[in-house]
Amino acid sequence: MTLATRIIPCLDVDDGRVVKGVNFQDLKDAGDSVELAKFYAQNGADELTFLDISASRDNKDTMLEVVKKTADVVFIPLTVGGGIKSVEDVDKLLRAGADKVSINTSAINNPELINQIAQRFGSQVLVISIDARRSNEKHAPSGFEVTTHGGTKSAGLDALAWTKEAVQRGAGEVLLNSMDKDGTKDGFDLELIKLIRPNISVPLIASGGAGKINDFYPAVAAGADALLAASVFHFKEIEIKDLKAELKRKNVEVRD
Amino acid sequence: MSKNIVVLDYGSGNIRSVQKGLQKVGANVVVSNDFETCLNAQGLIIPGVGAFAACMQGINKYRGSEIVDKRLAGNRFVLGICVGMQVMFENGLEHGVKTAGLHQWPGDVTEIKASILPHMGWNNVQVAIGSKLFKGVETEKFYFVHSFAAKDLDLQGTEKIDAPLKHFATHGEKFLASVENGPLSATQFHPEKSGDAGLQLLSNWLETV
């Protein structure tokens, strides 16, 4: 009778289409964001995240359409991230049917945006997404720095200090992406999770490095409240129901 | 004949999902803030996300207090969701600010004592015996996202009137997850975001309307 650890598939969406690593033979159109969202909702996902990787403004309107169509048929929480730069952007997404938004680079460029969004819509709608990697630089006393541009550029910020600041400014949840682990498939970044968890009082979503079912439990034990992954779910390397059964065996509370 | 349900539109967050959820279970749903429309609907939903004070400001703008009063006096059904449940109480106490609620129920809404807030995710509800709202989904988990809640409802029944059914959840401490009180029901969680279990609950509510 406690809060369940959440399993969150993440879909990269470009111009309304799911891109990167989707391999579903039983879907008519595996690139259809709405179809895929529906599939996950029916197969045990506790929440869904859409990451809009479109470059152009026109495509942002396409994303709104995708969110609308998804929210019409999927009755689990939906978070949308990617390219959100203003309170107006958030307003449009929430009206379209998103429950939460995640911001990353725009918050680094303009930290005040966190306060503005939280004040207008409440902290619970705002996920601060942080791409962290190991660093020996002076600006990263915690041993981890914040990066931008998919982990290729340093933002010149300490990951721990920035996470704390973002939460203090009003972020209601932290999406912690390990850029060192991202794509490696050799497990979540336990060191990073353990560094951040005791220093914040909001829920923590761990991301980056999931490769097999046994990778998830250590991240929960390290303090993650939710686990996000993309390719292992998209390629059906891991079925969410099998993952939950395994977590349950380890006495982790999950939603059946 | 599908039942006619109105979702009160006062500018609060994502109300599209509750509209679609109710449509999915067979209701004819209108999103409106027109006084007469809200008054005359078979069922009225008071949604709400974000801050208590901001929600009350929006509700007051459209004479929400009067709408709820008149509806309940006429035994017409109202369902409050999330902050829409919280505003049914006397006051909301957020960040040191006390805001008057609709005061249908006694008691204040205060911050939950827990190490991690918001209480975000899927949790169980201890469902009281005799619930119509939770029929068939008594053991399911529902989706919560909030930091504040009413901890209890001190309202006794009489010979003629049943005491409200109180359903609790726990996150750090025990709080009210849902109440069924004659024509007035409320859930702290989001049934419209609680998958099949949530849709069943909305369907159950629709049945009572």
Provide the CB-side half-sphere exposure for B61 (13 A, CA): 13
- Identify which of A41, A99, A172 has the shortest CB distance to residue B195: A41
Q: Which residues in chain B are closer than 8 Å to A41, comparing Cβ atoms? A: 195
B122 CB near a chain A CB, below 8 Å? yes
Residue A254 lies in a domain: no
Mean pLDDT of chain B: 96
Contact A203 B17 (CB under 8 A): no
Distance CA A225, CA B114 (A): 14
Coarse DSSP helix, strand, coil percentages of chain A, rounded to the nearest 5 percent: 40, 25, 40
Model pLDDT, residue A28? 57
DSSP state of B134: T
The whole-angstrom distance between B164's CA and the closest CA on chain A is: 23
In CATH, what number is assigned to the domain containing residue A144? 3.20.20.70
- Enumerate the residues of chain A whose CB falls inside 8 A of the CB of residue B14: 71, 94-95, 97-99
Chain A residues within 8 angstroms (CB to CB) of chain B: 1-4, 6, 41, 46, 68, 71-73, 75-77, 94-99, 120-125, 172-173, 201-203, 225-226, 255-256
Catalytic residue at B38? no
Residue length, chain A? 256
> Which token pair is A189?
């970044």
Distance of CA B2 to the CA centre of its chain: 22
Mutate to test the interface with A, among B29, B116, B138 (most CBs of A within 10 A): B116
Asked if the structure places residue A97 within a domain, the reply is yes
Residue-range definition of the domain harbouring residue A140: 6-249
Question: Binning pLDDT at 50, 70 and 90, where does residue B81 land?
Answer: very high
Chain A closest-CA separation from residue B159 CA (Å): 34
pLDDT band of residue A17 (cuts 50, 70, 90) is confident
Per-residue pLDDT reduced to its tens digit, A191-237: 999 999 999 999 999 999 999 999 999 999 999 999 999 989 988 89
Range of the structural domain that residue B83 is part of: 4-208
Quick check: is A95 in a domain? Answer: yes
Q: Searching chain A, which residue's CA lies closest to the CA of residue B198? A: A75
User: Cβ–Cβ of A122/B51 closer than 8 Å?
Assistant: yes
What is the pLDDT, as a whole number, of residue B11? 82
CB contact under 8 A, A75 and B14: no
**Could you tell me the CA-to-CA distances from B26 to A10, A73, A96, A97, B205 in Å, in that order?**
31, 14, 22, 20, 12
Pick the catalytic residue from B55, B82, B94, B180.
Answer: B82
Provide the number of structural domains found in chain B.
Answer: 1
Q: Average pLDDT of B177-194?
A: 98
- Per-residue burial over B51-66, b if 16 or more Cβ lie within 10 Å, else e, is bbbbbbebbeebebbe
Number of structural domains in chain A: 1
Pick among B15, B16, B111, B192 to test the A interface (most A CBs inside 10 A)? B16
Handedness of CA A85, A86, A87, A92 (dihedral sign): negative
Across the A:B interface, residue pairs with CB atoms under 8 Å apart total: 106
Portion of chain B with pLDDT greater than 70, in percent: 100
In a domain, A60, yes or no: yes
Q: Is residue A51 part of a domain?
A: yes
pTM given for the model:
0.95
- The dihedral built from the CA positions of residue A92, A52, A127 and A144, taken in this order, carries a sign that is negative
All residues of chain B having their beta carbon less than 8 Å from the beta carbon of residue A170 are none
pLDDT the model gives residue A141: 98
Distance, in Å, from the CA atom of B123 to the CA atom of B171, rounded to the nearest integer, reads 9
pLDDT exceeds 80 at position B50: yes
Taking an 8 Å cut-off on Cβ atoms, the answer to whether A173 and B118 are in contact is: yes
Give the CA diameter of chain B.
48
For chain B positions 62-91, those within 8 Å of chain A (CB to CB) are none
Q: What is the pLDDT of residue A57?
A: 62
Average pLDDT, chain A: 93
Residue A12 bears catalytic tag: yes
Q: What is the pLDDT of residues A83-120, one digit of tens each?
A: 999 999 999 999 899 999 999 999 999 999 999 999 88
Find the Cα–Cα–Cα–Cα dihedral A43, A49, A52, A58, rounded to 10°.
Answer: 80
- Of A4, A68, A94, nearest to B121 by CB-CB distance is A4
Name beta bridge partners: A10. A49
A256 is a domain residue: no
What pLDDT, in 10s, does the model give residues B128-179?
A: 999 999 999 999 999 999 999 999 999 998 888 899 999 999 999 999 999 9
Task: Say whether A131 is catalytic.
Answer: yes
CATH number, residue B104? 3.40.50.880
Residues A119-154 have pLDDT tens digits of 888 999 999 999 999 999 999 999 999 999 888 899
Per-residue pLDDT tens over the stretch B61-70: 999 999 999 9
Task: Choose from A19-28, A32-41, A208-217 the range with maximum mean pLDDT.
Answer: A208-217
